[in-house]
Structure 1
Amino acid sequence: FKMVDSLVNTKANAKRIANIENCFGSSGQPLAAHGRVLVGEGVLTKMCRKKQKPRQFFLFNDILVYGNILINKKKYNKQHIIPLEEVKLDNLGDDGTGLKNGWLVRTPTKSFAVYAATATEKTEWMAHINKCVEDVIRKTGKYPTKEHAAVWVPDAEAGYCMHCRKTQFTMLNRRHHCRKCGAVVCGPCSNRKFLLPAQANKPLRVCLTCYDSLSRASILESATGGMIREQKIVEKSTGQDSSGDEDSDDDDETGGKRLDDGTGNGLSKDMTDMTFNEKPTFYGDMMAEAKSPEAELASEATESLAPPVDAVPATTTAEICADPSRASQTEDATPVPAENDVVDPMATGEPHSGGH
């Protein structure tokens, strides 16, 4: 993955990472680390518990970071950091209901679906993530994670309990999610808890079917002399935890208060009002193309026209967070070539934007 390695220890990469940290502020964790490179960034639509919502994603060569968008390109919160050796991607076909260009991001603690604006952007995102995952595993010698958390069924896709098929969800009969299989179930059908070490250090709500299955597996493992992975079984759930309690980034902008009228609050099928009209940026591609013979020749031919990289203000999230005023300066700072001159866009040092 030479194109990414070329960005290690560069000032441009360090500045991008520092500015992302600034966007998250004190609510986020430090992202700068030895050998870490920002590979790409952009907005993806994440399928949350109640509906799909835009989330800002940052792909590094060793982690995947995403967060809620408070002010686009300026302020984010609820930062999530996922080690890439834990990530597995699964393609999602178009379901015919308006949800297109999606795939599953599976991790041991949480799995979810995301959607890109176009098929091209989906292909680019998946290719870059998979390449980074392969590179991390190859370089570190770590084994890819085999067990992943279930993808939660969205609230709006279940008007009735998926276990008993009888209980209709209302303001009184609230929805709950089984942390093992992801099904939407009623309270009586999920009044058991079981310790799932990969997801949390405390017992989590599971449906009766998964509880029975997990209990049998634990007893069998104990009988054969193996280590009991689920070390503690809690017979009764307190009934206090709801589907949203352990899914912090899915809370609506109401201070985390859960507003549920029993209908699932509707699941918008119109993706246009949930995504931002911008394309993802992949910095590694810039390095790969800049090193090609064609790019080098074009760079030499236009050297007198192309300003230094640092002289061109960038408009990506990674560059604009610390100084939002730079966004309006970009067009004015870009040099205008002579009428008959041909300028290779790579010679300007601008990163490649996907989705063309």
Structure 2
Amino acid sequence: MVDRLVNSEANARRINLVEQAFGTSGQSLVQTGRVLVGEGVLTKMCRKGTKPRQFFLFNDVLVYGNIVIAKKKYNKQHIIPLEDVTLTPVDDEGNLRNGWQIKSPFKSFTVYAATATEKTEWMAHINKCVQDLLTKRGKAKSDMEDSPVWVPDKQATHCMHCKKSEFTVLNRRHHCRKCGMVACSNCTSKKWLFPQQSSKPLRICLTCYDQLANAPNAEQEKAAQAPAGQNYDSDSSDDEDDDVPNDAENSDQPTFYENKNHGATKT
């Protein structure tokens, strides 16, 4: 089991190698009781299409990043606490197969495995880590709302809110940070503070703004909104627009260490 790997030299060595691969751009991953459960390449749906990303599953967090040199160097490190993660299977559609959504209050997105077997393995291991973590901490999942899974840019040639505005080089796409739809600037002219996503107020569509503004607790939240006329934050999504070249494909089978006799008792 995972607990058998906690104090193993193999586990410490693996975590150290992950830290080195991210370099100074990444956060320290060494923490008491932390175990690297598995790793592998998954295809992540980004706003401009699908891109391979390196994922590392620990017993308390999910870490992923852009691949600069396969199995050697990564950047754009993202760390998602597992205790608030939920998984939702995604139906196959065309070439997009073996997918599921990873949802949390901090970030939500869709990933695809190379095979159905790998999808099953990834989902089973993530769910097991989440359940074990909640049990160990004696907690239930929080009631915080999950951040939205963004609609990819290519799926919207016109504003999904007004249905009229056509996107061009000058008329940019923007994503609502509450529902994830692609909308024009006019239809995302409001913003709201989502502390779990950012310390600054973020763009939302007019429909979501009306829902939030009319909610019972709206008066408490209005103080957190940005003043009129303030410039909006960039409509990027961390690694979504990063086009760092890489030579990775999600063809290598993932490695889950508690199932292997790599310096630990085989289970």
TM-score, with length taken from structure 1: 0.70
More strand by share: 2
Task: Determine whether 1:251 maps to 2:249.
Answer: no
Deviation at 1:194, TM superposition (A): 1.2
Deviation at 1:252, TM superposition (A): 2.8
Matches within 5 A, 1:1-356: 3-95=1-93, 97-146=94-143, 147-217=145-215, 220-221=216-217, 228-229=220-221, 231-234=223-226, 236=228, 238=230, 240-244=232-236, 247-253=237-243, 275-286=249-260, 291=266
Change beyond 3 A, Cα 1:80–1:222: closer
Change beyond 3 A, Cα 1:58–1:34: same
User: Structure 1, residues 325-345: CA drift from partner, whole Å, max 9, x if none?
Assistant: xxxxxxxxxxxxxxxxxxxxx
- Residue 112 of structure 1 aligns with an amino acid whose one-letter code is F
* Residues 6 and 287 in structure 1, CA contact (< 8 A), matched pair in contact too: no
Identical pairs, percent: 58
User: Structure 1, residues 192-247: CA drift from partner, whole Å, max 9, x if none?
Assistant: 11112221221111110011110001xx3368xxxx35542336465644431xx1
Change beyond 3 A, Cα 1:242–1:6: same
Q: Paired residue for 1:300?
A: none
Gapped regions of structure 1 (runs ≥ 5): 256-272, 293-356
Change beyond 3 A, Cα 1:12–1:18: same
TM-align CA RMSD: 2.2
* Residues 4 and 287 in structure 1, CA contact (< 8 A), matched pair in contact too: no
Change beyond 3 A, Cα 1:30–1:254: closer
Aligned length: 264
How far apart, in 1, do the equivalents of 2:44 and 2:84 lie? 19
Moved segments of 4+, more than 3 Å: 234-242, 287-292
Deviation at 1:249, TM superposition (A): 1.1
Change beyond 3 A, Cα 1:14–1:161: same
More helix by share: 1
User: Structure 1, residues 15-46: CA drift from partner, whole Å, max 9, x if none?
Assistant: 00001100001011111111111100000000
Deviation at 1:287, TM superposition (A): 5.3
SS of the residue aligned with 2:260? helix
Computing the radius of gyration from Cα coordinates, the structure with the larger value is 1
Deviation at 1:250, TM superposition (A): 1.4
Gapped regions of structure 2 (runs ≥ 5): none
Deviation at 1:277, TM superposition (A): 2.5
Change beyond 3 A, Cα 1:23–1:126: same
Deviation at 1:166, TM superposition (A): 0.3
